[in-house]
Structure 1
């Protein structure tokens, strides 16, 4: 990429340069870690932030919103500010710039879809490392770096120690910020990464308000294929909306399907490749349907990359899942913790966990805070539908003791969740705090029974809270 200046950065993100046009020679960075010459990317900044950036020697600040006396302080310290209404444009540029500057010859893989992105990305990364690649991924246990709406991935690539041979990047299928839909997010970020391989997992409803139908979700996910010039696209044959995206793949690229009636499928004995047993059932870390789907996606991707079956088998059998992906926190009673946070994930996880239950099935579900009434209504319907045929004990919580303002459960969200349960005839207990909900579950469950913890931010601290209780 050609030399960057503050004026070029402003043009690239459709922004306005306030201050001088000058050459920038650092990396894209977050405010607290910025060094000399770095380009600070931040959704908003105030006068204190400008002072920190100036003190650290940053070359410029790119932001959507200046607060307080930020502009006056920037003028005083002679640090240029670029104001943009689309911060995602600069973050896409940051990723592309980091890859071209620090890892120009890498194998690049993008994984997107509604569910299973994190586990699929993490498992592909594990297989690549087993195969001898020096590889990096943006997937972490709390999914903090997979949104690509801040410069963390560009920063991580720039700071990677050693020669980077491969990157596996999870791309959120849709994204928003401050009540604004970041249109065409999957396409924008995938185009910036310029991957040789794109993996599409499934289409379901999650981010209600950003997308409001399966058709909209499908359109956003399939946008990752617009202008694709890579070698291979890996598609979930069991999802009809993903399967139909084959028509969008250019003729110069190979299509690889996974799932039922494909070369890579699951049967009761395990995972098969071209009709031969590749990974026996006993070697799979988890046997739940959604985990198996993620494993099929990862295995298909690895096979498409010509990684040997033995390496794949070894990597999968020794795979250590991400935190909160059907994680066992205790055995007497059996306590399972899962990130299930949208309707499809909830149904799949409850089905898997309920099948393990001996006696009563105890479900502790965190209501999703500040995500709107529609998603919480759908989540409650998924819970109600999934536990009707089970001998259950349902506990719901607003997790007021562990969430911040961005994840606070609003009265309308709690109301709609409870109304669905009442309409469906589901008995429940609600607790405002997570610690009360977990104490009740532990007190209610016998040693031979199962407790399942599900939810996003409201359930994230559950393992720590449980440790404090016990």
Structure 2
């Protein structure tokens, strides 16, 4: 294990060390799991947290926000405390340290972009496992660890059982915390990982406020290629902004996927240089935006020289992450999708329409505490998607299932409804997710289709439906 001390960590965190300079002989960890010698990293900490860290024998605590009398208590108990204005710096250092210490010889792959990161990362991981690699990924059903703004991934790498052969890590294209934009997040975290391969999915608007234009989003995503010294970059040829990024890596091999490339989808399936690799019947999902994810994963497998038979087997047996166009029930057909930004909403509604045979119902959760702009754009995306079709739309604030961090503010709700009304879209609005689901299911018959879309406010829908005995 590569040792360092609190003074060195303070420098790397651009922070101030309060307390002694002592050797650190543990790993980076979250407070509840910390063991003797570990570095505890928290966005904020109070006296209770300082006491817990001290009792657990932590080497030090790094935080961006020391609340109450936590500084004085840290001094009293002799626990070194590092105060930094940029918590992402310590997490980037933690990630690099964990890789250098525990996974130096791994094949490392980074996936970033606006949409499709999680599915693409998850599928690449499946291909690696099928090929016999001991591989780790940070992608889970809720994309909880893809932000890399806490030490979870560094912790997971340090605690991985057995020798690691490969890492495939999803990197959020932009990130912020406490009303602060973490400028250059994709660049910083990609540099910490030092990948051999970078995969870019697409550019669209999502985190309004962190980025306010496609140009801003493109700049942040392309940051993952700045200073890239790996081997290969895999780009979506169908996205013009991503396609142009090939010029940023003159010393790397650029592989494109999509229309007119070596890895493309045509009638019958996915082809590599005109050779059919995966027939359409073997796709785990048929929606166009998910086929883009399959193409990206297949292109990565090809870049790694994994044989086509293995790639096909992995893709065919792939089980989608939760809330990625999942079918929760068949009569009526209930589809659950994480669609939470304009492009995702449009693509998901279009995909659901292909399955509609009876009436079409949409239940959408407003994005809480995410600002007016993203909700205005999301509402417009819904309006554009349904104005020419027969659709029953229900909107919910999900007040019964969200926490304070995801509470829908009155202006957010107002602008969402105002956009729909301005576009002449009729909708029913409920404060709770439970009522929205109950009312919709009461109206629907067995031949109808119900699409559930939205982020945190729709995440609990599966459990709500289960409690109501609908699934």
Question: TM (normalized to structure 2)?
Answer: 0.99
**Greater alpha carbon shift after TM alignment, 1-10 vs 31-40:** 1-10
RMSD, matched Cα = 0.7
**Counterpart contact for 1:361–1:390, Cα < 8 Å:** no
Give per-residue Cα distances to partners, 1:273-327, cap 9 Å, x unaligned.
Answer: 1112111110001100110000000000010000000000000000000000000
Following TM superposition, where does structure 1 have runs of at least 4 consecutive aligned residues deviating by more than 3 angstroms? Answer: none
Give per-residue Cα distances to partners, 1:183-222, cap 9 Å, x unaligned.
Answer: 1000000000000000000000000000000000000000
Q: 1:389 Cα shift?
A: 2.2
Rounded Cα–Cα distance in structure 2 between residues aligned with 1:362 and 1:2: 56
- Give the equivalent residue in structure 2 for 1:469: 468
- Give the equivalent residue in structure 2 for 1:405: 404
**Counterpart contact for 1:359–1:391, Cα < 8 Å:** no
- Give the equivalent residue in structure 1 for 2:440: 441
State the SS of the aligned residue for 1:429: strand
- Give the equivalent residue in structure 1 for 2:103: 103
**Counterpart contact for 2:2–2:101, Cα < 8 Å:** no
Rounded Cα–Cα distance in structure 2 between residues aligned with 1:461 and 1:297: 29
Unpaired runs of at least 5, structure 1: none
State the SS of the aligned residue for 1:395: strand
Rounded Cα–Cα distance in structure 2 between residues aligned with 1:22 and 1:311: 49
- Give the equivalent residue in structure 2 for 1:59: 59
Rounded Cα–Cα distance in structure 2 between residues aligned with 1:156 and 1:389: 48
State the SS of the aligned residue for 1:255: strand
Residue pairs, 1:279-318, within 5 angstroms: 279-318=278-317
**Counterpart contact for 1:228–1:250, Cα < 8 Å:** no
State the SS of the aligned residue for 2:458: coil
Q: 1:468 Cα shift?
A: 1.0
State the SS of the aligned residue for 1:409: coil
Q: 1:72 Cα shift?
A: 1.3
Alignment of 1:138 onto 2:149:
no
Q: 1:3 Cα shift?
A: 3.1
**Counterpart contact for 1:354–1:390, Cα < 8 Å:** no
Alignment of 1:217 onto 2:217:
yes
Q: 1:391 Cα shift?
A: 1.2
- Give the equivalent residue in structure 1 for 2:392: 393
Alignment of 1:381 onto 2:380:
yes
**Greater alpha carbon shift after TM alignment, 411-420 vs 262-271:** 262-271
Rounded Cα–Cα distance in structure 1 between residues aligned with 2:461 and 2:318: 23
Give per-residue Cα distances to partners, 1:59-117, cap 9 Å, x unaligned.
Answer: 00000011111011111110000000000000000000001111110000000000000
**Greater alpha carbon shift after TM alignment, 160-169 vs 439-448:** 439-448
Rounded Cα–Cα distance in structure 2 between residues aligned with 1:296 and 1:277: 13
State the SS of the aligned residue for 1:303: helix
Rounded Cα–Cα distance in structure 2 between residues aligned with 1:56 and 1:129: 36
Q: 1:373 Cα shift?
A: 0.3
* Count of aligned residue pairs for this structure pair: 469
Unpaired runs of at least 5, structure 2: none
- Give the equivalent residue in structure 2 for 1:30: 30
Residue pairs, 1:114-133, within 5 angstroms: 114-133=114-133
- Give the equivalent residue in structure 1 for 2:75: 75
Question: TM (normalized to structure 1)?
Answer: 0.99
- Give the equivalent residue in structure 2 for 1:151: 151
Q: 1:2 Cα shift?
A: 5.7
